[in-house]
Amino acid sequence: MENHSHNHEHSVQETVQDMVKAMASKGWRITDQRKSLATLFAEAEGYLSPKDVYDSMRPKYPGVSFDTVYRNLRLLSEMGVLEQFYLNDGLKFRARCQSHHHHHMICIQCEKTITFEFCPMKHVPHLPEDFEIMNHRFEIFGYCSDCSKQPHPASN
Protein backbone atom coordinates (compact mmCIF):
# COMPACT_ATOMS: atom_id res chain seq x y z
CA MET A 1 0.00 0.00 0.00
CA GLU A 2 1.23 3.48 -0.71
CA ASN A 3 0.16 7.08 -0.30
CA HIS A 4 -0.15 8.82 -3.59
CA SER A 5 -1.26 11.88 -5.39
CA HIS A 6 -4.00 11.28 -7.91
CA ASN A 7 -1.81 10.87 -10.96
CA HIS A 8 0.91 8.49 -9.69
CA GLU A 9 4.02 8.72 -11.86
CA HIS A 10 2.10 10.51 -14.60
CA SER A 11 3.43 14.03 -15.03
CA VAL A 12 1.15 17.07 -15.02
CA GLN A 13 1.80 17.57 -18.73
CA GLU A 14 0.99 13.92 -19.55
CA THR A 15 -2.22 14.11 -17.53
CA VAL A 16 -3.28 17.30 -19.33
CA GLN A 17 -2.48 15.71 -22.71
CA ASP A 18 -4.47 12.57 -21.83
CA MET A 19 -7.47 14.65 -20.73
CA VAL A 20 -7.35 16.85 -23.84
CA LYS A 21 -7.05 13.77 -26.10
CA ALA A 22 -10.07 12.20 -24.43
CA MET A 23 -12.11 15.39 -24.92
CA ALA A 24 -11.06 15.63 -28.58
CA SER A 25 -11.91 11.96 -29.17
CA LYS A 26 -15.49 12.73 -28.05
CA GLY A 27 -15.70 15.63 -30.50
CA TRP A 28 -15.31 18.39 -27.92
CA ARG A 29 -13.80 21.67 -29.07
CA ILE A 30 -10.54 22.12 -27.17
CA THR A 31 -10.97 25.62 -25.78
CA ASP A 32 -8.63 27.51 -23.48
CA GLN A 33 -11.18 26.95 -20.69
CA ARG A 34 -11.09 23.18 -21.16
CA LYS A 35 -7.28 23.16 -21.22
CA SER A 36 -7.32 25.18 -17.99
CA LEU A 37 -9.76 22.68 -16.48
CA ALA A 38 -7.45 19.79 -17.42
CA THR A 39 -4.46 21.63 -15.95
CA LEU A 40 -6.36 22.37 -12.74
CA PHE A 41 -7.05 18.66 -12.19
CA ALA A 42 -3.58 17.55 -13.27
CA GLU A 43 -2.02 19.89 -10.70
CA ALA A 44 -4.52 19.22 -7.90
CA GLU A 45 -3.18 17.30 -4.91
CA GLY A 46 -6.57 16.06 -3.84
CA TYR A 47 -10.25 16.15 -4.62
CA LEU A 48 -12.04 19.20 -6.01
CA SER A 49 -15.68 20.05 -5.54
CA PRO A 50 -17.61 21.72 -8.36
CA LYS A 51 -17.45 24.94 -6.29
CA ASP A 52 -13.64 24.60 -5.94
CA VAL A 53 -13.36 24.30 -9.72
CA TYR A 54 -15.75 27.20 -10.32
CA ASP A 55 -13.88 29.42 -7.84
CA SER A 56 -10.56 28.54 -9.52
CA MET A 57 -11.85 29.21 -13.04
CA ARG A 58 -13.77 32.44 -12.39
CA PRO A 59 -10.81 34.86 -12.06
CA LYS A 60 -9.49 33.88 -15.52
CA TYR A 61 -12.93 33.31 -17.08
CA PRO A 62 -15.37 35.73 -15.41
CA GLY A 63 -18.17 34.73 -17.79
CA VAL A 64 -18.10 31.04 -16.84
CA SER A 65 -21.21 29.84 -15.04
CA PHE A 66 -21.40 27.28 -12.25
CA ASP A 67 -23.79 25.22 -14.41
CA THR A 68 -21.23 25.06 -17.24
CA VAL A 69 -18.49 23.96 -14.84
CA TYR A 70 -20.74 21.33 -13.28
CA ARG A 71 -21.92 20.01 -16.65
CA ASN A 72 -18.30 19.69 -17.88
CA LEU A 73 -17.29 17.85 -14.70
CA ARG A 74 -20.15 15.36 -15.09
CA LEU A 75 -19.35 14.80 -18.79
CA LEU A 76 -15.63 14.34 -18.06
CA SER A 77 -16.57 11.84 -15.36
CA GLU A 78 -18.90 9.96 -17.74
CA MET A 79 -16.12 9.70 -20.33
CA GLY A 80 -13.71 8.32 -17.73
CA VAL A 81 -11.35 11.29 -17.55
CA LEU A 82 -12.35 12.26 -14.01
CA GLU A 83 -13.33 10.06 -11.09
CA GLN A 84 -16.17 11.24 -8.88
CA PHE A 85 -16.53 10.52 -5.19
CA TYR A 86 -19.20 11.34 -2.64
CA LEU A 87 -17.24 12.42 0.42
CA ASN A 88 -18.61 13.83 3.69
CA ASP A 89 -18.89 17.33 2.30
CA GLY A 90 -20.46 16.33 -1.01
CA LEU A 91 -19.52 15.42 -4.55
CA LYS A 92 -15.85 15.78 -5.47
CA PHE A 93 -13.77 14.99 -8.53
CA ARG A 94 -10.15 14.23 -9.38
CA ALA A 95 -8.18 13.15 -12.43
CA ARG A 96 -8.47 9.43 -13.06
CA CYS A 97 -5.45 7.37 -12.06
CA GLN A 98 -3.74 6.31 -15.27
CA SER A 99 -1.01 3.88 -14.27
CA HIS A 100 -2.44 0.45 -13.42
CA HIS A 101 -5.44 -1.27 -11.88
CA HIS A 102 -5.72 -0.64 -8.15
CA HIS A 103 -8.17 0.59 -5.54
CA HIS A 104 -8.19 3.28 -2.86
CA MET A 105 -8.61 3.80 0.84
CA ILE A 106 -9.73 7.39 1.43
CA CYS A 107 -9.52 9.24 4.74
CA ILE A 108 -12.90 10.82 5.44
CA GLN A 109 -11.29 13.58 7.48
CA CYS A 110 -8.25 14.81 5.47
CA GLU A 111 -9.04 13.00 2.16
CA LYS A 112 -5.58 11.39 2.01
CA THR A 113 -5.68 8.54 -0.49
CA ILE A 114 -3.80 5.27 -0.07
CA THR A 115 -3.63 2.73 -2.89
CA PHE A 116 -3.88 -1.00 -2.48
CA GLU A 117 -3.47 -3.70 -5.10
CA PHE A 118 -6.08 -6.17 -3.86
CA CYS A 119 -9.06 -6.38 -6.19
CA PRO A 120 -12.25 -7.87 -4.72
CA MET A 121 -13.59 -8.65 -8.20
CA LYS A 122 -11.06 -11.48 -8.50
CA HIS A 123 -12.73 -13.20 -5.56
CA VAL A 124 -16.44 -12.69 -6.25
CA PRO A 125 -18.14 -16.09 -6.38
CA HIS A 126 -20.80 -16.95 -8.92
CA LEU A 127 -20.92 -13.92 -11.18
CA PRO A 128 -23.80 -14.23 -13.64
CA GLU A 129 -22.50 -15.64 -16.92
CA ASP A 130 -24.78 -13.41 -18.97
CA PHE A 131 -23.45 -10.17 -17.49
CA GLU A 132 -20.44 -8.51 -19.08
CA ILE A 133 -18.60 -6.35 -16.54
CA MET A 134 -17.12 -3.27 -18.20
CA ASN A 135 -15.75 -1.48 -15.16
CA HIS A 136 -15.89 -1.47 -11.40
CA ARG A 137 -14.90 0.68 -8.44
CA PHE A 138 -14.00 -0.23 -4.92
CA GLU A 139 -13.10 2.34 -2.27
CA ILE A 140 -12.72 1.98 1.45
CA PHE A 141 -13.48 5.02 3.61
CA GLY A 142 -12.08 5.49 7.10
CA TYR A 143 -9.43 7.42 9.03
CA CYS A 144 -5.73 7.51 8.10
CA SER A 145 -3.13 6.97 10.82
CA ASP A 146 -2.77 10.71 11.47
CA CYS A 147 -6.50 11.41 11.67
CA SER A 148 -7.30 8.31 13.73
CA LYS A 149 -5.26 9.85 16.56
CA GLN A 150 -7.50 12.94 16.59
CA PRO A 151 -11.05 13.18 17.90
CA HIS A 152 -13.59 12.92 15.07
CA PRO A 153 -17.36 13.08 14.89
CA ALA A 154 -19.26 9.83 15.25
CA SER A 155 -20.17 8.39 11.88
CA ASN A 156 -23.66 7.26 10.92
Question: Distance between terminal CA atoms of the chain?
Answer: 27
119 marked ligand binding residue:
no
Residue 83 CA to residue 124 CA, distance in Å, equals 23
10 marked ligand binding residue:
no
97 marked ligand binding residue:
no
110 marked ligand binding residue:
yes
Burial 76-101 (b: 16+ CB within 10 A, else e): beeeebbbbbeeeeebbbbbbbeeee
**Residue set of the binding site for Zn(2+):** 107, 110, 144, 147
* Residue list, annotated binding site: 101, 107, 110, 136, 144, 147
Summarize the annotated binding site for Fe cation as residue ranges. Answer: 101, 136
